[in-house]
Structure 1
Amino acid sequence: MVVGYLYLPKDNPNKPLGEDAHFMHELYQTIGVAYGVAGWALKGVNVGIYTRELMKNSFIGTYDEAMKGHVSPKRVLEEAYKNTNSKGQSTICIITLNSVKSTMVTANVGDSGLLLIRKGKIIYKSPIQQRGFGCPYQLGNCNANNPSVAQEMELNVEKDVIFMVGTDGMLDNIFESEIEEIVRRAINEKLKAEELASQIGNIALYNSFDRFADTPYARASEGRHKGGKIDDITVIVAYIQ
């Protein structure tokens, strides 16, 4: 698994690191993303501290799981949740490559998620977990969900497939058809994983500032919102070789 990423925090001088976080453990072929639920800002809480602690603990949990024999994203998520003490709530998606079984195992809570792409075509997209528009499932230590709600999936993989993991800042601002077109060009041009992540993230950013753009977020709002959604954007691309 060869990995590249792009993180674009939205412009906020009070939170220069943004509210997204991610980790990549290439040795144990595990990656994850988390998106801090912004409502906590109304309570004076920087939820980015929570997401970064959650991802740090996920990285540690990946190592601990690997020492037991193999990495289980659900158990990594459970351990990270248990050991994260900062205030806040977050969506989270963790995936790991099981090279022995040639499968990708995932655990997902909320509206961050992943795409499996083969030959420039999206063949799987993780479903959104939400109670309603703008209300995703979320982990947290105050009136939030716990890891029992995590959706688990095991997908068969083969050489030359691409996994793309992103927070809602990516998924809300770029259509699957746009992603497929960019990926096909990237394959033809033999772009590195980091270069593909950069292209996806920057187009999502461009769309997010367009007040009249047709975006997944605008469509999902059923008329309540027009254009893109300004947000932190995280994109991780993994080439399976």
Structure 2
Amino acid sequence: MPSIPTQLLLLAACVLTLSLLIDNFHSQCLREDDAAAAPTAITPICSLLASAPAAMPAASLLSLPASLLRQASPRLSSLRPLASMPSSHSTAATESQKRLASSNHARFTYRLGAASAGKRTPVRPSKLDRDFWAYASTQEAPSPPYLRSTKKDAGEDAFFATTVGESPHHVAFGVADGVGGWQDSGVDPSDFSHGLCGLMAGTAKTFEGLQEEDGGRNVRPRELLQVAYDAVIGNPRIVAGGCTASLCVADGEGNVETANLGDSGFLILSPGKVAARSEAQTHAFNTPYQLSKIPPRMQAQHAIFGGSKQLSETPKDADVEHHQVKHGDIVLFATDGVWDNLSAQDVLQIVTKIMEEHGYWFRSHNFAGAEALLNASRISQIARSLSPERKEELENFLPALLAQAVMREAKVAGLDTRRNGPFAKEVNMWYPQEGWQGGKPDDIAVVVGIAVEDGQGGGEKPIKAKL
């Protein structure tokens, strides 16, 4: 074997030494920050996310310097990630909400629910604020002001749901799936995914661009993802990691803009049919597009010794789509813990069962066959205001019921050794010699949004969808 030139060895030693110095510098910064405990210092996100409740005030999260925002995108001056905000809204905030609600074009508000389960969590009866959560864009002074997941409840998968600014007519919600392969490098994948979702939630909640003096511009999902991603990259406490991401922003006219990167994804459901669905972005089988943070040491080692390159896309690589929702339409986001075990038709069947049992959808038979109909007035009656004191109402809140039902069925399917879902079918198509049988256990995160249009409380509305 030829000897390695002395110059190359010296170069390798220098690069590795430099990476160690950078790591030491980061560690020193952490110690200095903890000692100073300044109000404007970056909050230790890893320890915070490990112990925080599933829905946190923005004041408990990161407070990021304006220079980082300008560096992320000079066009997003009104995107201020996680600026300090009280857990309950001020009078000024409430007045702002009322002013935004009076827009002539704003007809839609949104009811939201989320559910999650860690890979190692057993199948169990769902419990409020442990396995599922409820949120309404019409809630005045919600406390906490938005939903977001924690590692304890969702494992490496994360979710968020919030209004945009103080508007009851604008919401942002989505999911992120931490890339488990980072565990081989001693990195907790959940730090990246939960940090990203927490940042997106706080950024959307404090967005000021909807105000009339700013021209009324809504936040865009890919911009939201970019600002949060840049903040994660700039946070020394998130050392490394990666995740997929799928999210949307919906407005008062029923416009839903989605951004999808990787193999998490979404469905839009109308009575009896899948109206729209996302396509997974993959490099190869089981190799999704992903956002990544690669530490200097790993970059240096790859530059010197080569080997497989860590995948790293950017928010610009996300697929962006535009959809128009109608009264009662359901927008569902989920990580691949759902899509590996349930098809779109499986999810539609789960949703249909609940919608019919609770009187939101029903079937009508005529000479053309069976049709699914929407009970428009029943949809309009979904609670506009939620209170912890009304626990029964929270437990029966429709979006939360749907989210937990999909989560639970995906969990059951993933543990079933004889039920072949989409993942098993794809393995057997590409690698028939493997003989894969059954589901794929995984972390799961689901968020559901239901569009509610003003003035639609006047009876049943037929939807031409054969069953």
Fold conserved (TM > 0.5)?
yes
Whether the aligned pair in 2 keeps the contact of 1:65 and 1:72 (CA below 8 Å) is no
Of 437, 446, 464, the residue aligned with 1:226 is 437
Of 442, 446, 451, the residue aligned with 1:240 is 451
Of 396, 401, 404, the residue aligned with 1:195 is 401
Counterpart CA distance in 1 for 2:284 and 2:406 is 27
Q: Runs of 5+ in structure 1 lacking a partner?
A: none
- The amino acid of 2:442's aligned partner reads D
Displacement, 1:227? 1.2
Counterpart CA distance in 2 for 1:138 and 1:152 is 15
- The amino acid of 1:105's aligned partner reads E
Question: What do the CA deviations read for 1:32-85 (whole angstroms, capped 9, x no partner)?
Answer: 100000000111111101111111111122135453531210100000110003
Alignment of 1:102-113 (within 5 A): 102-113=254-265
Larger deviation, residues 215-224 vs 1-10: 215-224
- The amino acid of 1:54's aligned partner reads L
Alignment of 1:1-241 (within 5 A): 1-11=110-120, 16-17=152-153, 18-26=155-163, 27=168, 28-67=170-209, 69-84=217-232, 85=235, 86=238, 87-100=240-253, 102-142=254-294, 143=310, 144-190=312-358, 192-221=398-427, 222=429, 223=432, 224=434, 225-241=436-452
Larger relative contact order (Cα-Cα within 8 Å, sequence gap ≥ 6):
1
Q: 1:183 is paired with a residue of what secondary structure?
A: helix
- The amino acid of 1:93's aligned partner reads S
Q: Runs of 5+ in structure 2 lacking a partner?
A: 1-109, 122-150, 211-216, 295-309, 359-395, 453-467
Counterpart CA distance in 1 for 2:407 and 2:438 is 17
Instruction: State the TM-score, normalized to the length of structure 1.
Output: 0.93
Report the identity percentage.
29
Root-mean-square deviation (Å): 1.6
Counterpart CA distance in 2 for 1:194 and 1:16 is 19
- The amino acid of 2:329's aligned partner reads V
